[in-house]
Structure 1
Amino acid sequence: MGPVEKEASVHGEMKRMQKLPANGTYVTHRLRVLNKILQLLSIQRTASQEQELELLFAGLSL
């Protein structure tokens, strides 16, 4: 999956999360992780940041 597809899947997941009750801990945590992924996608990443990004994606199963 390329960077454009990754970003599109993150945005899709964010839209899905926004349909759920906002005060849930699951939604709050998931949105925080999705925002972190978007942040990492938008910058020039170091090797450790690239590894963190891959681990975040693996943990979300997008």
Structure 2
Amino acid sequence: MDHVEGHDGPNPTQDEITSKCIRMQQDDKKAAVHAEIARVNQLPSNSSYAVHRMRVLHKLLHLMSIQMSASQEEELELLFASLSL
């Protein structure tokens, strides 16, 4: 029987593997948003760009934390793409 490293029970199902990959992608995206927040915090606080970017980043974190429909998730992906994170 094949054994997956770090997995003590029976082999993981495809759904478990997919779920783990999605969680890893979400963690990577959250890390990218937090890194961008740190970068924007270095900008002058009276910068209209910095204020707007920070609002967008915080909204993005909020959206990532709630349950969404497939179309809402697609919108979120488009937002990520437009921010170039």
TM-score, L = length of structure 1:
0.90
1:7 to 18, 30, 37: 30
Q: Which of structures 1 and 2 has the larger relative contact order (alpha carbons within 8 angstroms, sep 6+)?
A: 1
Say if 2:74 is the partner of 1:40. Answer: no
Contact 1:40 1:49 in 2 (8 A): no
For the residue of structure 2 that corresponds to 1:21, the secondary structure is coil
Gaps of 5+ in 2: 1-23
Gaps of 5+ in 1: none
Greater helix fraction, Structure 1 or Structure 2: 1
Distance in 1 of aligned mates of 2:59 and 2:81: 14
Question: 2:47 is matched with which residue?
Answer: 24
Contact 1:21 1:27 in 2 (8 A): yes
- Which amino acid letter does the alignment assign opposite residue 43 of structure 1? I
For the residue of structure 1 that corresponds to 2:28, the secondary structure is helix
Give the share of equivalent positions with the same residue, in percent.
58
Say if 2:83 is the partner of 1:60. Answer: yes
TM-score, L = length of structure 2:
0.67
